[in-house]
Amino acid sequence: MASVTVRGCALCTATLLNFAFVFVTSADFISFLSFRTIYHNLTGETKLCQDSIPWSVALRDSSVLWSLMVDLGLLVLFIVQHSLLAWPPLKQACQSVLGTLNRTMYCFTTALTLQILMRYWQPVIGAPCLWAVRHAPWSVWFPLLCFTLHFVCWAIICSILLIFDYPELMGIKQVYYACLGLGDPVSSKPPCAQRLLLHLRHPVCLEFAVVMWLLPALSLDRLLLAGTLSAYLALGHSLDKEDLAYLCVQVRSKTWLLAEPPQDKSNHKQK
Mean pLDDT of the 175-184 span: 69
Return the pLDDT at 240: 46
Residue 29 predicted with pLDDT over 90: yes
Return d(Cα 69, Cα 221) in angstroms, integer.
10
pLDDT digits (tens, 9 = 90+) for 64-82: 999 999 999 999 999 999 8
Residue 28 predicted with pLDDT over 50: yes
Return the pLDDT at 243: 47
Return the pLDDT at 10: 82
> Which of the given ranges, 11-25, 126-140, 180-194, has the highest pLDDT on average?
11-25
Q: Are 104 and 171 spatial neighbours (Cβ–Cβ below 8 Å)? A: yes
Q: Where is average pLDDT lowest: 31-40, 107-116, 232-241? A: 232-241
The conformation of residue 126, written as its DSSP 8-state character, comes to: S
pLDDT digits (tens, 9 = 90+) for 87-143: 888 888 888 888 888 888 988 999 999 999 999 999 988 888 888 887 777 777 888
> Band of the pLDDT at 42, cuts 50, 70, 90?
low
How many CB atoms are closer than 10 A to CB 249?
11
Say whether pTM exceeds 0.85: no
> Band of the pLDDT at 268, cuts 50, 70, 90?
very low
Q: How far is CA 68 from CA 74, 161, 233, 241, in A?
A: 10, 32, 21, 39
Instruction: Give the residue among 25, 31, 35 at the shortest CA–CA distance from 215.
Output: 35
Q: Tally the residues of the chain.
A: 271
> Band of the pLDDT at 253, cuts 50, 70, 90?
low
DSSP string, 175-213: HHHHHTT---TTTTS-HHHHHHHHH-S---HHHHHHHHH
Q: Are 81 and 109 spatial neighbours (Cβ–Cβ below 8 Å)? A: yes
Average pLDDT, the chain: 78
